[in-house]
Structure 1
Amino acid sequence: MTDPVLQTKGICKSFGALRASRNISIDLFPGEIHAIIGPNGAGKSTLIGQICGTLKPDAGSVELLGQDVTHQTARARARAGLGRTFQISSLAMEDTVLQNALLGALGASGNPWRFWKDVLKDQDLRATAEEALVRVGLEDHARVRTAELSHGQRRQLEVAVALTLRPKALVMDEPMAGMGSEGSKRLTGFLDELRHEAPILLVEHDMDAVFALADRISVLVYGEVIATGTVEEIRADAAVREAYLGEDA
């Protein structure tokens, strides 16, 4: 059986009396899109923080490519191949599209403290950044200031920055948020192709996108996974329908 690229084993996290993560064990396999869904306050952001290294679990472990990364920083996990996009944009709005992609490539190089002029002249870094922009369809916007992009284009740029890491796995936090139907449709098609390069742990409220993309879905409610299964299994699960999907699922 193929080993998972990314997995959590019984991770727990509390904030005072609030148990935000309750013994969560999930995994992500090569070529897969595994969606995490749940109502607001379910603990999705806390789970992502523990997976990506911005929060340390109180118990349990996180493994990437079979290696325990529970005590590694977010930057170390990124260098090891864990890419991430954010619910709230983390882009440098006053920099150009190409400069944002270059910053991603620079971070992946393991030498983030180089002078900016040297970075701009580094042909390898520039090639990595430009290739990522081509992948997401932003090559014609390379010199545009990021603040001038549409919301959908900023989402595309966040994916490009993640791709400069040449990730082994991607964690995507609501990539469809704020996008119109056409933008969501384009991004859905792109992610469907991207899964073969890097499997995706997808946290998303757009259920049309989730049902179109996910090989498996895990449902998180009050910090606990109440069900994991295929789209058909999740649609048919009475507890999931009551907790989250509703009768129109």
Structure 2
Amino acid sequence: MTEVVLRAERLFKSFGALKATNDVSLDLRKGEIHALIGPNGAGKSTLIQQITGHLASDSGFVELLGTPLTGLGPAQRAQLGLGRTFQISALAMEHTVLQNAVLGALGQRGTVMRFFAPVMRDKSLLAVAQEALAQVGLSAFAGTRTADLSHGQRRQLEVAVALTLKPKVFLMDEPMAGLGLEGATQMIGLLKELRQAAPILLIEHDMDAVFALADRISVLVYGEIIATGTPEEIKVNPEIRRAYLGDEVPA
């Protein structure tokens, strides 16, 4: 059996009468991309926040390589190996590409940044940052102000920052958002390579990308996972077509 790296078990989260996640269980296995799809308001963002520790669950638990994460905050979970990219960019736009990557590497140490200039002369941090930029194809843009990057390049930089954390798992929230055809094609290629470094839990609305990348797909509707299966199984499931996919399934 393929090793389970990340496990979320029987997660519940309610906001008043609304059950945002209702008995949600899923796992992520070594070397795979597991896509989480569902309509707007299905509970995907709530689930990711429960996994990352930004939101406390009402009940249930999350484990990373068998280690319980209950009671740990986002920073502690990141240091243990949860690497996240966001739907809305969290980059420092006035800093250079290299500076953003170095800040990510500093976060992996769990060190508070006191003086920026000395940090930028730290050879070990620079090495980690430069390696991550090389992995995503941004080495030539190391000195570029982040605000001057294209949208697609910023998405690549977000992945590089996550890589500096030496993650055991990637949690990626709509990495295709706002990308054109060329940018999406590049991102798909990058994610196919990254899965060898760490498995990816992918939240994505671009169905072409989902079916091109995913080994398994879980469908979340009204806070509940209604099905998990291979892309082929999801494509032909009539309940999923009615609930979510409709005409969005690629031929």
TM-score range, shorter chain: over 0.9
**Separation in 2, partners of 1:124, 1:182:** 34
Aligned to 1:233: 233
Query: Normalising by the residue count of structure 2, what TM-score does the alignment of the two structures yield?
Result: 0.97
SS of alignment partner, residue 134 of structure 2: helix
**Separation in 2, partners of 1:193, 1:64:** 22
CA 242–133 in structure 1, closer or farther in 2 if over 3 Å, else same? same
**Separation in 2, partners of 1:182, 1:149:** 15
Aligned to 1:221: 221
Aligned residues: 249
**Separation in 1, partners of 2:112, 2:162:** 15
SS of alignment partner, residue 130 of structure 1: helix
CA 68–248 in structure 1, closer or farther in 2 if over 3 Å, else same? closer
Aligned to 1:82: 82
**Separation in 2, partners of 1:57, 1:235:** 31
Deviation by residue 1:55-87 (Cα, 9 ceiling, x = unmatched)? 010000011111110211100010001100000
Deviation by residue 1:137-169 (Cα, 9 ceiling, x = unmatched)? 111111111111111010000000000001100
CA RMSD of aligned residues (A): 0.9
> 2:5 matched to 1:16?
no
Q: How does 1:192-231 map to 2 (within 5 A)?
A: 192-231=192-231
**1:248: how far off?**
5.3
Aligned to 2:34: 34
SS of alignment partner, residue 83 of structure 2: strand
Q: How does 1:44-55 map to 2 (within 5 A)?
A: 44-55=44-55
**1:177: how far off?**
0.2
SS of alignment partner, residue 26 of structure 1: strand
**1:109: how far off?**
1.1
SS of alignment partner, residue 10 of structure 1: strand
Aligned to 2:69: 69
Aligned to 1:161: 161
Deviation by residue 1:9-62 (Cα, 9 ceiling, x = unmatched)? 000000111100000000000000000000000010000100111001000001
**Separation in 1, partners of 2:194, 2:92:** 24
SS of alignment partner, residue 188 of structure 1: helix
Instruction: Identify unmatched segments of 5+ residues in structure 1.
Output: none
Moved over 4 A (4+): none
SS of alignment partner, residue 14 of structure 2: strand
Q: How does 1:105-144 map to 2 (within 5 A)?
A: 105-144=105-144
**1:112: how far off?**
2.5
